[in-house]
Amino acid sequence: MSRYRGPKLRITRRLGALPGLTNKRSKKDNIRPGQHGKANSDNNKKMTEYGIRLEEKQKLKFNYGLTESQLYRYIKEARRRKGVTGLILLQLLEMRLDTICYTLGFASTIVQARQLVNHGHITVNQKVVSIPSFQCRLNDVIGIKQKNSSKNVVGTNLKDNKKPDLPTHLKFDESKSEGTVLDYCDRNDVGLDIKELLVIEYYSRR
């Protein structure tokens, strides 16, 4: 299944705020999308356990811009590693290059960060990396390509998306416009409202 490229506000109306997908808000946030959206919102229709798990999985998928097969690969990798599977899953997603670029303020959303990486504007340890899913490691330095077009694009984004409170696992040097990965993220550093355990349970039978 390919990556979703449809209306973003339709997704946020169904799943709630997804900062990695879009910062915009719909005037109909309290009404679910679809022909019977208003009726379902008014009746507070109770969801099944499967439906609840499915929505949590969809939140993760759309926020980080993953395909179904990509998300399943992350689930399998998280299960393989020792520790709390849900936290490891989030750490893997937060260590993606596009996610780190978004967290540092290089882009307003993960979608925009993915485009920056694809177009070769981002470097890792002074080398251009154009793969959004690239897994950053501890002490990696994420910077901007030494080209005027790259500096202008990312520089403008940094001014617009300046974040006063950077997560503790990242350090940002304003003078060089570079970020350094200090550690793996803590659960509290994840900006998405997600119940990761339900995502693990969703895939438990696969």
Share of the chain above pLDDT 70, in %: 87
The CATH number of the structural domain formed by 96-183 is 3.10.290.10
pLDDT in tens, 145-177: 999 999 899 988 888 877 767 888 999 998 888
pLDDT, greater one: 32 or 71:
71
- The span from the CA of 200 to the CA of 65, in Å, is 18
Give the residue from 89, 72, 65 showing the smallest Cα distance to 2.
Answer: 65
pLDDT in tens, 16-25: 888 888 877 7
Q: Where are the domains of the chain?
A: 8-91+192-202, 96-183
Q: What's the mean per-residue pLDDT of the chain?
A: 86
CATH class for the domain made up of 8-91+192-202: mainly alpha
φ and ψ at residue 96, rounded to 5 degrees: -65, 145
pLDDT for the residue 36: 47
pTM as predicted: 0.86
